[in-house]
Amino acid sequence: MGLGVGSGYVVKSILALVVIIFIANYSLKYLNTFMTKKGKAIRIIERTAINKSSSICIVEIAGTYYVMSFTETRNEILRELTGSEKEAVIQSQELEESNQESPDLFKGKPTQVFKELQTWYQNFYEKRK
């Protein structure tokens, strides 16, 4: 006994829909590579929100640092940073990047990591009892 006439169409329709969604997904991902350009001439170094619709940013444009305000209606350069201010921004950025490195737990050998996780889990389990 085979599938009924109606159920066969349902199965085929579902399979066709899955194939169409799969093809559409990969097509959009492929086309997105052409649409987005990652420029290195402009970078937002730091952003601070002032309210819901405005913020102040430190922006690097072609090696020059600016303080800019961004709102819904206008984007405006407030001033250019001096050499000493630029150095302070670069140093704080490097300090931030060094603080974001992986924790010491993952710098060791895998067996050490496993042992540390095992002792942590045992301590956690004993506290729950």
H helices of 36-109, in order, are 83-99
The residue with greater pLDDT, 6 or 106, is 6
Residue linked to tokens 């829909």: 17
At 111-127, the pLDDT tens digits run 666 667 777 777 776 76
> Poorest-confidence range of 2-6, 8-12, 16-20, 67-71?
2-6
pLDDT for the residue 1: 46
pLDDT at 18: 94
Sheet holding 75-80, edge to edge: 42-51, 54-61, 64-70, 75-80
Q: Write down how long the chain is.
A: 129
pLDDT band at 38 (very low <50, low <70, confident <90, very high): low
Return d(Cα 7, Cα 14) in angstroms, integer: 11
- pLDDT of res. 13: 92
Closest CA to 49 of 66, 65, 70: 70
Which two structure tokens, joined as six digits, stand for 33?
A: 């590579």
Please check the confidence at residue 43 and state whether its pLDDT lies above 90. no
Residue 24's pLDDT is: 93
Task: Say whether 81 sits in a helix, a strand or coil.
Answer: coil
pLDDT tens readout for residues 60-77: 888 888 988 888 898 898
